[in-house]
Amino acid sequence: MTQLATPPTETPRSYAAHAQPLWRRALLTPEVAVIVALVLVFTWSTANVQAFDGPLTLYYLFLDTAPILLIALPMTLVIVTGEIDLSVASVVGLSSVLVGLLHQDAGLSIPVAALVAVLVGVVCGALNGFLVGYVGLPSLAVTIGTLALYRGIAVGLLGTEAVTDFPERWTDLAKQRIVDGSSYPVVLIPFVLLLIAFAWLLHFTPFGRGIYEIGLNDEAAHFSGVDVERTKFWLFVMTGAVSALAGVYYTLRYGSARGDNATGLELQVIAAVLLGGVSIFGGRGALHGVVAGVLLIGVISSAMRLENQTVNVINIVIGSLLILSVIAPSLLVRLRSLAGRTRSATPAPPRNDTGEAPVDHEERLQR
Amino acid sequence: MNETFQSASQGEAPILELEGVQKSFGAVRALRDGTLSVRPGSIHALIGENGAGKSTLVKIVAGVHRRDGGDLRFRGESVDFASTAESKAAGIAVIYQEPTLFPDLSVTENIFMGRQPLLSGRRIDRGAMHAEATSLFRRLGVDLDPRRLARGLSIADQQIIEIAKAISLDAALLIMDEPTAALSGVEVERLFQVARSLRDEGRGLVFISHRFDEVFALCDTVTVMRDGAYVATQALADTTVDALVAQMVGREVGELFPKTPAPVGDVVLSVEGLTSAGVFHDVSFEVRAGEIVGLAGLVGAGRSEIARAVFGVDSYDSGTVRLDGREVRRGDPRGAVRAGMALVPEDRRKQGLVVEGSVARNIASVIRRGLSTAGVLTGSAEDRASSPWAAKLQVKTNALDMPAATMSGGNQQKVVIAKWLATEPKLLIIDEPTRGIDVGTKSEVHRLLSDLAGQGMAIVMISSELPEVLGMADRVLVVCEGRISAELDRADATPEKVMLAATRRNDQEVHA
């Protein structure tokens, strides 16, 4: 107490950028765990599941999961802020109906109809974003409401009918392969472009840093000059736009515009995002994990379908996997603290090497 | 110290006795020597500056905290309350400044929450409950409908309900922690009447207040605390306001706070007529380059709120904020940063830091907008930009990617300061710069602030520690109930003057 601090003219120290070696930081993450699981399931299926290595498996896998892949991108950003958007599948349905009606009744060409549908998706997202960001309502409640609202409008516009009269040029394009004979459909091109855009936005911009800060501590983010309201607003707008785009694809892929298209898709998207290592409480997650999460669910479903399992069994497996992925981190913490307790039972050297106050590391990990 | 204790009593055995009670939170010793002796049939005032340890003492008696050492006796028996329920059961009731009632339950239900009188079949006996509530209110001499909902009741009425609850529990000791802070004059008078009638019934009362007029009007005995320790107990009839103030602040303002004089430059911040309804009113002041202006006052006087409004984290109703002569848009923290302002907020863990975030991310969290190359912001750019600031403030950490949550309070505060100094601000607003940090870091922070002022930065420092304000500030603005009640130059600023201006109820100016 008597001794004052060392004078500030002491030689300035430098800091190591990282406390742990590269391999630990790069490999011991939930994202890598999902990627490893994906690779394992994929190689196992290739070796053991009949016809899994056939030319159509991957092709249909991509065709079928494309809407989920697309919507999972902005959904990841929304969930990292600690919010959620349950209305995405309804926007898919509304966009699908709009493309059908605008093409059939108004005689608009597909690109123009698609553009209008995406703009309506922007409006849908803007309503969500306004209510969540600026009015401050909980996104769970708001988007349950708009889930019903947008779906209601979609079904109301088209009733129980379906528009199926689309030009072949466009429905073929939705199913076309990038190169003849390859397993990769052209829809992967817009997906990869959007993936690059969202990965840049989330991981390599100040805006993206703000997204994480909002998820971890929105008050501190506000005090640092992050515009919390505006950030949330724009994330919901992006989600609406991408969902509408997925709706356009969905319509052309199946050649059918119906009000109940993609019902329940929102839960598949959210399940995949969470499986990919994004915390439902916000503040953590990365896009490579999310992409692996979507593909993992896709690979498991198509492998099990080839093994003639019913949808119910597939759902049970994927549901269990999701629960496992959510409890895995806290289970890990529990194990670690158990290990720590047995170690400290024996006389151990003082674990604090910095001489600082005791560390509360677990509080962070428990999230 | 203890031999000075002379109870002004008629010799009756005290109902509550504390002797040498201690309590630390981490490295901070909130209470070093908690000593208090309350007789039945007496209203005992407990006074002291912010941080003198009054609240900690009350919380130990109430069972919120457990003491680290010392003696606590209630009705002559040594006790150690593990929970508020235990202390309540023993007969102690605490009435807080803002009671927390269940707004959607009736007044009666609030009083009898958890111990409703029952009929057969475990049905609640509403009739008996209302009858008892009515008789309680009659005894207290207040006119309240026991059947109405608690929602919408004034704070004064809510306190009365808490008191009624305490009486129905037959509490022998009532502690009132700044009960009058939110009350009007009439309400204060009614509360006092109730308090006196409880005293006459032979209960013991402890009254915590910053208002000397109320202390003298209501209480018979007073205990003064300072720096977590007991100073003196005396009969109020034998003392004066000046004597009490001297006891509250009586400590040397030593070299602990070394503000070196710096040349004062142009006006950097100019605030005019800043008003936010119900929070602060008509606040005007200027801060010049090289100057440290201290904002003193009691907790809750509106100092932090003024700082937040100036920086734009909160909006305000009217008034202007100018930096270097240019008006700063209200409610726009990013604009304030661009103009050259920085705010180190009051609550480090909630407002200052993302505790889960790494040291580097936290330090870079404001300057990162300028760190992108070709639109790409990388983690290593953040590391490079934050490392020199961490070094400048001597942040103790193994690596830049360690989460801030793993650090001590003092180190966290350094990270927050680094984060804002990295923006190279013209004006630094720093709210409670040394709250909850160790002595060594404290003096580092003080030296740093002094250096920064020497380099021409304008600094606004909010502090509840009077010696810190008096030692560091070139000028002291005292905030009282949302208004600036006094402006004192360094030479004129004495602890007594600041305390008087901070506790004054009426609106006359105190001139230096």
Q: Return the closest-CA partner of residue A271 out of A222, A323, A306, A235.
A: A323
Is the pLDDT confidence value at B26 over 80?
A: no
Backbone phi, psi, residue A260, to 5°? -100, 15
Is the pLDDT confidence value at B148 over 80?
A: yes
Question: Which residue ranges form the domains of chain A, and what is each CATH number?
Answer: 25-333 (1.10.3470)
Q: What is the pLDDT of residues A300-344, one digit of tens each?
A: 999 999 999 998 999 899 899 888 888 887 787 787 777 655 544
Residues of B in contact with A216 (CB under 8 A): 354-357
pLDDT of residue B327: 95
Is the pLDDT confidence value at B2 over 60?
A: no
* Higher local confidence (pLDDT), A124 or A343: A124
pLDDT band at A177 (very low <50, low <70, confident <90, very high): very high
CA distance B271 to B427: 13
Residues near A94 by beta carbon (within 8 Å), at least 6 away in sequence:
A117, A120, A121, A124, A150, A151, A153, A154, A157, A244, A247
β-strand pairing of B42-47 with B28-38: unpaired
Is the pLDDT confidence value at A191 over 70?
A: yes
pLDDT of residue A178: 92
CA distance A162 to B316: 55
CA B290 to chain A, closest CA, distance in angstroms equals 20
Is the pLDDT confidence value at B251 over 60?
A: no
pLDDT of residue B22: 93
CA A80 to chain B, closest CA, distance in angstroms equals 14
Is the pLDDT confidence value at B257 over 70?
A: no
Q: Tell me whether A344 touches chain B (CB under 8 Å).
A: no
Does residue B150 sit in helix, strand or coil?
A: coil
Q: Cα dihedral sign for B473, B476, B478, B483? A: negative
Which long-range contacts link B369-375 to residues 24+ away (Cβ below 8 Å)? B369/A206, B371/A206, B372/A204, B372/A205, B372/A206, B375/A200, B375/A204, B375/A205
pLDDT band at B410 (very low <50, low <70, confident <90, very high): confident
Residues of A in contact with B392 (CB under 8 A): 12
Is the pLDDT confidence value at A350 over 90?
A: no
Which residues 265-304 in chain A show a CB within 8 A of chain B?
283
The residue-averaged pLDDT of A227-252 equals: 97
The residue-averaged pLDDT of B404-426 equals: 91
Is the pLDDT confidence value at B253 over 70?
A: no
Lowest-pLDDT range of B102-106, B322-326, B384-388, B504-508: B504-508
Residues of A in contact with B378 (CB under 8 A): 204
**Helical segments of chain A, H only:** 22-27, 30-48, 55-80, 88-104, 110-129, 139-158, 168-175, 188-203, 206-216, 218-223, 228-254, 265-275, 287-306, 311-345, 362-365
- Helix A206-216 with A188-203: angle, nearest 10 deg: 70
Question: Cα torsion for B255, B258, B260, B266, to the nearest 10°?
Answer: -140
The residue-averaged pLDDT of A120-127 equals: 98
pLDDT of residue B408: 79
Is the pLDDT confidence value at B11 over 60?
A: no
pLDDT of residue B290: 93
Q: Which of A5, A12, A361 sits opposite B392 (nearest CB)?
A: A12
Contact B94, B179 (CB under 8 A): no
Q: Which of B356, B391, B448 sits opposite A283 (nearest CB)?
A: B356
Q: Which CATH class is domain B2-101+155-249?
A: alpha beta
DSSP string computed for A276-339: TT--TTSS---HHHHHHHHHHHHHHHHHHHHTT--HHHHHHHHHHHHHHHHHHHHHHHHHHHHH
Q: Which of A16, A206, A216 sits opposite B368 (nearest CB)?
A: A206
pLDDT of residue B153: 84
Residues near A13 by beta carbon (within 8 Å), at least 6 away in sequence:
B391, B394
Contact A8 B357 (CB under 8 A): no
Q: What is the mean pLDDT of chain A?
A: 87
CA distance B146 to B110: 10
Residue ranges per structural domain of chain B: 2-101+155-249, 105-152, 254-340+427-512, 350-424
Q: Which of B353, B360, B376 sits opposite A220 (nearest CB)?
A: B353
- Helix A228-254 with A168-175: angle, nearest 10 deg: 110
CA distance A248 to A111: 10
pLDDT band at B256 (very low <50, low <70, confident <90, very high): low
Tell the burial category of A16 from Cβ atoms under 10 Å away from its Cβ (0-12, 13-18, 19+).
middle
Backbone phi, psi, residue B51, to 5°? 80, 10
Q: Tell me whether B174 touches chain A (CB under 8 Å).
A: no
What ipTM was predicted for this assembly? 0.82
pLDDT of residue A331: 80
The residue-averaged pLDDT of B159-175 equals: 88
Contact A114, A97 (CB under 8 A): no
Q: Tell me whether B309 touches chain A (CB under 8 Å).
A: no
Q: What is the mean pLDDT of chain B?
A: 87
pLDDT of residue A102: 96
Tell the burial category of B264 from Cβ atoms under 10 Å away from its Cβ (0-12, 13-18, 19+).
middle
Angle at A284 between CA A280 and CA A288, to 5 degrees: 105
pLDDT of residue A365: 37
Is the pLDDT confidence value at B507 over 60?
A: no
Q: Which of A18, A206, A355 sits opposite B401 (nearest CB)?
A: A18
Closest-CA residue of A relative to B408 is A357
Contact A200 B376 (CB under 8 A): yes
Q: What is the pLDDT of residues A151-171, one digit of tens each?
A: 999 999 998 889 999 999 999
CA distance A163 to A34: 39
Q: What is the pLDDT of residues A75-112, one digit of tens each?
A: 999 999 999 999 999 999 999 999 999 999 999 999 99
**Number of CB pairs < 8 Å for A and B?**
139
Closest-CA residue of A relative to B336 is A225
Q: Which of B356, B394, B400 sits opposite A17 (nearest CB)?
A: B400
Q: What is the pLDDT of residues B440-480, one digit of tens each?
A: 778 889 989 999 999 999 999 998 878 888 889 999 999 99
pLDDT band at B166 (very low <50, low <70, confident <90, very high): confident
CA distance A263 to B200: 72
As given in the structure block, the two tokens for residue A166 are 């689309």
Is the pLDDT confidence value at B286 over 50?
A: yes
Q: Which of A24-28, A204-208, B478-482 is the most confident on average?
A: A204-208
Which residues 65-104 in chain B show a CB within 8 A of chain A?
none
pLDDT band at A6 (very low <50, low <70, confident <90, very high): very low
pLDDT of residue A4: 36
The residue-averaged pLDDT of A348-363 equals: 36
Contact B443 A5 (CB under 8 A): yes
The residue-averaged pLDDT of B51-69 equals: 89
The residue-averaged pLDDT of B37-52 equals: 89
Longest pairwise C-alpha distance within chain A = 87
Is the pLDDT confidence value at B8 over 70?
A: no
Amino acid sitting at position A300: I
As given in the structure block, the two tokens for residue B347 are 């609550």
Q: Tell me whether A231 touches chain B (CB under 8 Å).
A: no
Is the pLDDT confidence value at A235 over 60?
A: yes
The residue-averaged pLDDT of B10-33 equals: 84
- Residue B490, CA distances (Å) to A275, B259, B445, B509 in order: 61, 11, 20, 18
pTM for this structure? Answer: 0.78
Contact B323, B411 (CB under 8 A): no
Q: Which of A229-233, A308-312, B67-71, B242-246 is the most confident on average?
A: A229-233
Residue B164: which H helix or E strand, with range?
A: helix B155-168
The residue-averaged pLDDT of B502-508 equals: 60
Which among B349, B356, B443 is the top mutation candidate for probing chain A, defined by the most A β-carbons within 10 Å of its own β-carbon?
A: B356
Contact B352 A216 (CB under 8 A): no
Tell the burial category of A249 from Cβ atoms under 10 Å away from its Cβ (0-12, 13-18, 19+).
buried
- For the sheet with B483-489, list strands across it: B341-344, B427-431, B458-462, B292-297, B475-480, B483-489
Q: What is the pLDDT of residues B61-109, one digit of tens each?
A: 999 999 999 999 999 999 999 998 899 889 999 988 778 889 899 999 9
DSSP B106: B
Q: Tell me whether B29 touches chain A (CB under 8 Å).
A: no
In this structure, whether the domain defined by B254-340+427-512 belongs to CATH 1.10.540.10 is answered with no
Q: Do domains B2-101+155-249 and B254-340+427-512 have the same CATH topology?
A: yes
DSSP string computed for A167-190: -HHHHHHHH-BSSTT-S-BTTHHH
CA distance A303 to A37: 14
Q: What is the pLDDT of residues A247-295, one digit of tens each?
A: 999 999 999 999 999 999 999 999 999 999 999 999 999 999 999 999 9
Task: Please report, rounded to a whole number, the percentage of residues in chain A having pLDDT higher than 70.
Answer: 89
Contact B406 A359 (CB under 8 A): yes
